[in-house]
Amino acid sequence: MRGRSVLVDVGANPAARPGHLLQYAVMGGIYAREVLGIEAPTVGLMNIGSEDSKGNELYREAHALLQGSALADSYVGNVEGRGLYQGEADVLVCEGFVGNVVLKVSEGMAEFLIRALAHDVLGQLDAEREKAFAALEAASKQYQYREHGGAPLLGIDGVCMICHGSSDGRAIANALRAAATLQSRQVNAQIVAELAATSPSESGGENPVGTSPESTDEVRPS
């Protein structure tokens, strides 16, 4: 396990422009540093290949912006989808449409793998079935949305947590704890300061927009 990664955006803005993706990298880096405790987070751009020429116009322009920005030293370049689970970057940036598809596929795959293991493996372990199932359940617990509460909507003037539609009391309580952490770590103030330091030419002249990183089920790559 390499550790946690942040995927941003996972659905808040499905029509982002290149400058927005640079801003997402700034905000995601602050979140990774202040909330996850990653001292010097690396940033990657989710793309269909690692080469500079890969992707559509949005991703090619965002790639060039990131290379020429103040984040250049921490920018690892284009990262393919599998890199999310292999720890190729601490923060992976994409627009909300792609990010939401990645999130939902990841949720579905995790549920499928747990069911498959329970059926194909635990079903064969008569004597040790309960012990094995308890271990599997404990391991999968860290990936469940209710244990993280929700995903913060970054880039707005305030603290907002977006919770799962089926959130129970435990999920809401954890979302409130996460919101308190954002406030105590002054994440918003740091976002304002670092975005202000990003020149209009670097961000394509874009104004900051709300975006939601994937912290509900933070990916923990192996």
Other CB atoms within 10 Å distance of the CB of residue 11: 19
The per-residue pLDDT for 68 is 94
* CA 182 and chain centroid, separation: 15
Q: Angle, nearest 10°, between helix axes 96-120 and 129-141?
A: 170
CATH architecture under which domain 5-205 falls: 3-Layer(aba) Sandwich (3.40)
- Ranges 16-20, 40-44, 109-113, 121-125: which has the least confidence: 121-125
- Ranges 37-51, 80-94, 189-203: which has the least confidence: 189-203
What's the pLDDT tens digit per position in 146-171?
777 888 999 999 999 999 888 899 99
Contact between 145 and 217 under an 8 Å Cβ cutoff? The reply is yes
Contact between 84 and 46 under an 8 Å Cβ cutoff? The reply is yes
Q: Which of 40-49, 144-153, 207-216 has the highest mean pLDDT?
A: 40-49
Q: What distance in Å separates the CA atoms of residue 107 and residue 192, rounded to the nearest whole number?
A: 32
What's the pLDDT tens digit per position in 60-112?
999 999 999 999 999 999 999 999 989 999 999 999 999 999 988 988 887 78
Predicted TM-score of the model (pTM): 0.82
How many Cα neighbours within 13 Å face the side chain of 79? Answer: 24
The per-residue pLDDT for 50 is 94
Res. 218: pLDDT tops 60: no
The per-residue pLDDT for 61 is 97
Q: What distance in Å separates the CA atoms of residue 30 and residue 91, rounded to the nearest whole number?
A: 10
The per-residue pLDDT for 59 is 97
Q: What distance in Å separates the CA atoms of residue 91 and residue 8, rounded to the nearest whole number?
A: 7
Residue-range domain boundaries for the chain: 5-205
The per-residue pLDDT for 167 is 87
The per-residue pLDDT for 175 is 94
